[in-house]
Structures are given as C-alpha cells and as structure tokens.
Amino acid sequence: MPPFEINDTELDALAGAGADLFHLYCLGFRSHMEPLTGVVRTTFEQVTERVGRPGIKYLAHDKSTLHRMLEALVELGLLCRLEGDSSLTYICALADTTVTPREQEA
C-alpha cells in the first residue's frame, strides 16, 4: 500500500464516526486514491473484512451495512460519488489533491 497522509479536515470529519468508518475510509478509499485527482475506484468490501486470529474474532460486514457505512462517509462530506458513473467511483472530497472535486466532475 502506498503511503498517504490524512489532513486535519478529514480527521475532523472522522472524529467520533467510529472505528469501522475510519477503517473503511482509510483502507478502502484513501489508500487507493489517485493523489492528483482524489478519484478512487475500489471494491471496498475486501478491506472491511477482519481476519480472525487468537483473541480477535473474524468480522465481515454484509452489503446493507457496507451501504450504510458508505452513505455515512458521503454525509460526513468525505466522499462524493462521480455522477453518471455506474461503478463504485468516488472522489475523496476533503483530501489534499492538485485538482479540486468540482474540476474533476466537469
């Protein structure tokens, strides 16, 4: 996974949102974000699975839970879905990039 930095605005939006949303945003979206544009094309189901090991229980969210988590990230302003794109393509709206989300949608 390439290194990435979370800015203060993203951290403020995630504050109090819970570990699952933080995990989904960081590992499912930010770690796959194109740094110049903020665009993310990912199948985030894979990164929300927690492998079981001694003392840690296996966890995998169902599709309805993942959908609610995704909507929460949109409501927090962290993600914007690219209009007209039928795939799971989003922009990390609060992340630092060289292209603003509005320029990307145009």
Predicted TM-score (pTM) of this structure:
0.78
Report d(CA 28, CA 103) in Å as an integer.
Answer: 23
SS3 call for 41: strand
- Parse the chain into domains and list their residue ranges: 8-105
- Per-residue pLDDT tens over the stretch 18-32: 988 998 899 888 988
Does the pLDDT value for residue 76 go beyond 60? Answer: yes
